[in-house]
Amino acid sequence: MTAGGAIPGPDGLLRCPWGLSAPDYVTYHDEEWGRPVHGDDALFERLCLEAFQSGLSWITILRRREGFRRAFADFKIASVAEFGEGDRERLLADEGIIRNRAKIDATMANAKTLARWAPGELDALIWSHAPDPATRPAPPTTAAVPAVTDESTALSKALKKRGLRFIGPTTAYALMQACGLVDDHVADCVARGAR
């Protein structure tokens, strides 16, 4: 086994090392990360959570995910687009989420922007930046996984050009990984190719 390569879990199955670093990660790693996500509201949720994760560990967000869903109306774009100053103050006081004013404001502003888009437009824009899987060999170790790619940079620029905030190239790449636009499970991982 190469450092950063797949390691056996308690069940004997090989997984990406991060997928075994905390109990909360196993299900997320096995059943969600790297699997295709479609639908504007579902992608809006992932976009928001990745933005909230910026500067923090993903486990912090994962453990508060239900709190985020409650606070942000299950990430229904139409509902969040109606949020006003009272909602902002409610969110800033909500201990079930990350109470960062800039990230809360970006989430509310992004929902208002996305509410003006045609149904399916966010899905189509994000997925138009998925690279050809044939050009992406399985990473042998986690060290071989990039933090930013040309595609994530282009996605970030496209989203910003359309008025979205708090979505830099690194956040865009994390979104691409989480939503299955790329499969960054290491080569021997049980979840590799389970798309």
DSSP 8-class letter at 13: -
Helix axes 85-92, 101-114, angle to 10 degrees: 140
Catalytic residue among 25, 33, 45, 58: 58
- Our measurement of the distance from residue 13's CA atom to the centroid of its chain's CA atoms, rounded to an integer in Å, reads 25
Which residues on adjacent β-strands are paired with residue 15? 7
Identify which of 148, 155, 151, 150 has the alpha carbon closest to the alpha carbon of residue 170: 148
127 is catalytic: no
Residue of 28, 32, 117, 127 marked catalytic:
28
- Is 28 marked active-site? yes
Q: Where are the alpha helices (DSSP H) in the chain?
A: 23-31, 40-53, 58-63, 65-71, 77-80, 85-92, 101-114, 121-127, 150-161, 169-178
| Dihedral pair phi/psi, residue 173, rounded to 5° | -70, -40
Q: Is 58 a catalytic residue?
A: yes
In this structure, the number of other CB atoms found within 10 A of the CB of residue 15 comes to 24
Of the listed 45, 50, 151, 173, which one is catalytic?
50
Catalytic residues: 28, 50, 58
